[in-house]
Amino acid sequence: MSSQSIIKVMIGFYVVLFFAYLFGPLMVMSITAFNTPSYPSAYPFEGFTLNWFVKLWNHRAMMDGLVNSIIIGIGVICVSVPVGLAAAIVMNQIYHRARSLYYLVTVSPVLTPGVIIGISTVIFWRDFSEMTGTRGLFYKGIMLSIFGQASFISAYCLLIIMARLQRFDRAQEEAALDLGASYPQVFWHILLPFLRPALVSAAVIAFLSSFENYNTTTFAILADKTLVTVLAGEVRQGTTPALSALAVIIIGLSLFGAIAYEVAKRREERRSARIAERAKLAERGELAPADATPQPA
């Protein structure tokens, strides 16, 4: 066997081992969700059942925690994405010598341990609500979790939006202003459409980061529960195949989201390619200008 063949075999073995390590636990957990034993077991497979999905649905604490996690995730999106957008615009506008200090201040929450953020959030909003008489409005587990998580997740949104904003051609803004557009019109009709992919990505990252957060949430949630805190309590008491059923649902939703995104992305690429091809044909005179008008998808 030649050295090239040995290298190919080793690379193939490494790839198989890597994917087995990556997806093996997920496959085993998926099998346990459909197996009948009361303790998660993939082998021997005693019988097919959907009973663990029914028990998961009837688990009141877990369902309440799931609802709270979704509410908190949506709230974090509503806070973090606008804050990250505003911070990115300011970063792009301020004097360049002040950017290093500004960047350090805005990104520093990412470097702060989640336990400290959670405790600080509870102390700050407790004192603030007592001073302003708004304890019933702000000093709640869901509100504190949103504020605590948004304090560092907004930095993620800032970085995502900044990466897109650095490719923005400021000449488009200047041309629009020269043609009589106001600053709000430039923002809504030029800047926001350009930043739309980054805003969507930031929203998705914000929701996922909020959904799986534990360190900050476990302190800020107070007497309420999220899915992650409920799962932590369940694992301490002993795991059941109902948790495997939850994992199967999450995996299925993740795969569905990834496939849907890829399909939508490819449709958009094909649509852009058709528009570009029509524009080229129109420039060469091989297509009537009216036919070069983009058609709705």
Mean pLDDT confidence for 100-108: 85
Residue 35, SS3 per DSSP = strand
Q: Using N-to-C axis directions, what is the helix angle for 227-237 and 60-93, rounded to 10°? A: 130
Instruction: Read off the amino acid at residue 212.
Output: E
* pLDDT in the model for residue 156: 92
Buried b (16+ CB within 10 A) or exposed e, 203-221: bebbbebbbebeebbbbbb
Predicted pLDDT at 76: 93
- Looking at residue 136, its pLDDT comes to 73
Is the per-residue pLDDT at 79 higher than 90?
Answer: yes
Q: Name the strand (E) or helix (H) holding 209.
A: helix 192-211
pLDDT tens column, 174-187:
788 788 888 888 88
pLDDT at 77: 94
What pLDDT digit, counting tens, does each position of 144-158 carry?
Answer: 999 999 999 999 999
**Is the pLDDT assigned to residue 295 strictly greater than 70?**
no
Predicted confidence (pLDDT) per residue in 32-44, tens digit: 888 887 777 777 7
- Mind listing the pLDDT tens digit for each residue in 167-220? 887 778 778 878 888 888 888 888 888 888 889 889 989 998 999 888 888 888
**CATH second-level architecture of 60-239?**
Orthogonal Bundle (1.10)
**3-class secondary-structure state, position 48:** strand
pLDDT given at position 283: 74
- For the chain, give every domain's residue range: 3-51, 60-239
pLDDT of residue 292: 47
- Look up residue 98 and give its DSSP letter: G
pTM of this structure: 0.78
pLDDT at 193: 86
pLDDT, position 62: 85
Q: Quick check: 139 and 123 in contact, CB under 8 A?
A: no
Structure tokens at 20: 């087995």
pLDDT at 78: 94
Longest dimension (CA), the chain: 80
**Residue 133: left if φ>0, alpha if ψ -120 to 50, beta else—which one?**
left
Instruction: Collect all residues with Cβ–Cβ distance below 8 Å to 251 and sequence separation of at least 6.
Output: 26, 30
87 neighbors 158 (Cβ within 8 angstroms): yes
**What pLDDT, on the 0 to 100 scale, is given for residue 288?**
55
Kindly report, residue by residue over 16-32, the tens digit of the pLDDT.
898 888 888 888 888 88
pLDDT in tens, 244-294: 888 888 888 888 888 888 888 888 888 888 888 887 777 777 665 545 455
What pLDDT, on a 0 to 100 scale, did the predictor assign at position 81? 93
